[in-house]
């Protein structure tokens, strides 16, 4: 699952003590394990090896340059959703031919950057966007490659409404009926070559079935197009593979692959996969410090120096994250991470952040070892959609990021300062209205 474990009552990331890192760089701090990133990528690649797919890691899940570099060096492609993420891929020397770019609102400037940087595919979400990409490519004297994002009308009831993307009434992609007409109209465009299909049904998806249903629909569509003389060469089946928010919660890569690979193996299609959280989720933790303990009615509150401004998933998606102190009595070393822990001596605790909103809750009514002021607390499976969604709300500087590799630890993003937070406001300039 990951390289975070308790040894002699202390939490380690690989061979480094998490507390030693926090002593040196302060808290809150995101700590990532390079080994976990590498292991996840290697086993994901192995599970799907029979398809010889292009694996495009979703930068939006955890996009630090050092992480993009680490995965690029293993041959991993990148899934991007903005000009900023394309820029990140460039800065990290990613292989741009293995970059895919999705998003319903691509601006002209973003499209231009995608074309000039030589990305592999635009995942196209509408007719108007397709025409715009073609127009911009033509003006640059270039050819762009497009994959039509088809939304297969698949809905996994276990996926949070805010992260479901494959329903018919969604802003993403075009529905299957419209897809055929789309290929008829734009399939012969010379500046936006449309010979691929993209699916992304949302996340996290806790079983292979939704993928199977979506892929079957896409294969039917590809066959119908072929009968009309329109050839689809590439099928991108998106991301959404789960992370282990609780021990053993997510299916193994092999479980997904066993269901998906046979459907695609002998189709001759180039397959693209876009895993995000399943690679990055368990590769990171967010370490913070208990500032105060207080009683509110019958509840015991532990107030941290981090909260929804640094990790918004509990507030936004009611997401569960395992939380545990970084140093514990031997009897409290957790053998596994579960929503309800069953150990003698645990105390029901409401873990909250400092932000002036009640939604700033990290863990509700959670059974935890007794916490005191000054204790450090780790929030697990925080690698995905953690730092990338962090904000400066309440003028809070964002945390530092540290990458551990074996027995070394490197600061890969400095802690922001108050000066950083106000930097772009220091020199008001008159708007040139001429
Ligand atoms: C967010 C996203 C992904 C990755 O989702 P995960 O749940 O992190 O795997 C992949 N593809 C697209 C188009 C996305 O928007």
CA-closest candidate to residue 9, choices 333, 360, 370:
333
Q: How confident is the model at residue 244 (pLDDT cuts 50, 70, 90)?
A: very high
238 vs 149: CA distance, rounded Å: 10
Length of the chain: 434
Cα distance between residue 364 and residue 357, in whole Å: 15
Q: Which residues pair with 292 in a beta bridge?
A: 303
Q: Which residue has the tokens 């193994």?
A: 252
pLDDT in tens, 282-336: 999 999 999 999 999 999 999 999 999 999 999 999 999 999 999 999 999 999 9
Q: In terms of pTM, does the model score above 0.85?
A: yes
CATH class of 4-31+282-423: mainly beta
- pLDDT value at residue 157: 64
Distance 58 CA to ligand 1 centre (A): 6
Low-confidence winner among 76-90, 146-160, 365-379 (lowest mean pLDDT): 146-160
Q: Give pLDDT tens digits for 113-169.
A: 999 999 999 999 999 999 999 999 999 999 999 999 999 988 776 777 777 776 777
Going by C-alpha positions, the residue among 418, 424, 422, 404 that lies closest to residue 29 is 404
pLDDT higher than 90, residue 349 = yes
Nearest to 37 by CA among 284, 241, 388, 248: 284
Atom of ligand 1 minimally distant from the CA of 165:
15
Q: Span 351-363, mean pLDDT?
A: 96
Query: pLDDT by residue (tens digit) across 385-433?
Result: 999 999 999 999 999 999 999 999 999 999 999 999 999 999 999 999 9
Q: How many whole angstroms separate alpha carbon 125 and alpha carbon 199?
A: 11
CA of 42 relative to ligand 1 center, distance in Å: 19
Residue 388, classed as helix, strand or coil, is helix
93: left (phi over 0), alpha (psi -120 to 50) or beta: left
Please say whether the beta carbons of 193 and 146 come within 8 A: yes
The yes-or-no verdict on residue 229 having pLDDT over 80 is: yes
- Residue 170 has a pLDDT of 79
Q: What's the chain's average pLDDT?
A: 96
- Domain range list for the chain: 4-31+282-423, 34-280
Strands (E), 165-257: 174-175, 192-198, 234-236
Q: Are 265 and 52 in contact (CB under 8 A)?
A: no
Residue that is written with structure tokens 């609780």 in the block: 246
For a ligand 1 pocket test, name from 238, 245, 382, 387 the mutation site with the most ligand atoms within 8 angstroms of its C-beta.
238
For domain 34-280, give the CATH number.
3.20.20.10
| Gap between the Cα atoms of 31 and 400, Å rounded | 9
Q: What is the model's pLDDT at position 1?
A: 78
Mean pLDDT to the nearest integer, 376-391: 98
Task: Kindly give the distance from the C-alpha atom of residue 20 to the centroid of ligand 1, in angstroms, as a whole number.
Answer: 34
pLDDT of residue 155: 73
For residue 154, what pLDDT is reported? 85
pLDDT of residue 56: 98
What is the set of active-site residues?
A: 356
Q: Ligand 1 — pocket residues by CB below 6 A?
A: 58, 60-61, 79, 81, 102, 200, 203-204, 238-241, 274-278, 384
Whole-number Å distance, alpha carbon 9 to ligand 1 midpoint, is 36
Residue 151's closest CA among 117, 104, 89?
A: 104
**Residues contacting residue 394 through CB under 8 Å, at least 6 positions apart:** 309, 354, 355, 356
Using the predicted structure, report yes or no on whether residue 171 has a pLDDT greater than 90: no
| Secondary-structure percent of the chain, ordered helix, strand, coil, rounded to 5 | 35, 25, 40
């Amino acid at each position: 699952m990951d390289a975070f474990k308790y040894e002699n009552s202390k939490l380690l990331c690989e061979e480094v003590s998490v507390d030693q890192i926090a002593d040196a760089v302060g808290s809150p701090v995101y700590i990532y394990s390079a080994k976990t990133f590498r292991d996840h990528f290697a086993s994901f690649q192995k599970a799907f090896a029979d398809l010889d797919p292009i694996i495009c890691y979703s930068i939006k899940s955890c996009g630090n340059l050092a992480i993009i570099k680490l995965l690029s060096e293993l041959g991993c492609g990148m899934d991007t959703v903005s000009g900023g993420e394309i820029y990140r891929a460039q800065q990290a020397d990613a292989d741009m031919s293995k970059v895919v770019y999705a998003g319903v609102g691509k601006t002209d400037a973003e499209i231009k950057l995608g074309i000039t940087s030589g990305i592999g595919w635009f995942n196209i979400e509408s007719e108007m966007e397709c025409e715009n990409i073609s127009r911009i490519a033509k003006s640059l004297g270039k050819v762009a490659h497009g994959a039509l994002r088809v939304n297969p009308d698949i809905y996994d009831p276990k996926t949070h409404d805010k992260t479901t993307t494959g329903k018919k009434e969604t802003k993403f992609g075009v529905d299957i009926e419209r897809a055929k007409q789309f290929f008829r109209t734009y399939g012969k465009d010379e500046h936006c070559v449309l010979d691929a299909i993209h699916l992304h049904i949302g996340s996290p998806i806790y079983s292979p079935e939704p993928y199977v249903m979506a892929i079957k629909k896409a294969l039917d569509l590809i066959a119908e197009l072929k009968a009309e003389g329109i050839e689809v060469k590439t099928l991108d089946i998106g991301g959404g593979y789960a992370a282990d928010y609780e021990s053993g919660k997510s299916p193994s890569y092999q479980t997904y692959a066993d269901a998906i690979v046979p459907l695609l193996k002998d189709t001759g299609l180039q397959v693209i996969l876009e895993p995000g959280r399943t690679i990055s989720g368990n590769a990171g933790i967010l370490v913070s410090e208990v500032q105060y303990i207080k009683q509110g009615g019958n509840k015991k509150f532990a107030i941290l120096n981090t909260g929804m401004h640094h990790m918004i998933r509990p507030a936004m998606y009611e997401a569960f994250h395992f939380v545990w102190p970084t140093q514990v009595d031997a009897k409290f070393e957790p053998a596994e991470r579960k929503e309800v822990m069953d150990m003698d001596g645990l105390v029901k605790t409401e873990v909250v952040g400092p932000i002036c909103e009640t939604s700033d809750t990290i863990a509700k009514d959670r059974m935890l070892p007794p916490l005191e002021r000054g204790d450090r607390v780790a929030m697990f499976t925080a690698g995905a959609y953690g730092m990338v969604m962090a904000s400066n709300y309440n003028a809070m500087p964002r945390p530092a990021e540290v990458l551990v590799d074996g027995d070394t630890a490197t600061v890969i993003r400095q802690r922001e300062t108050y000066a950083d937070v106000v930097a772009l406001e220091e020199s008001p300039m008159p708007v040139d209205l001429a």
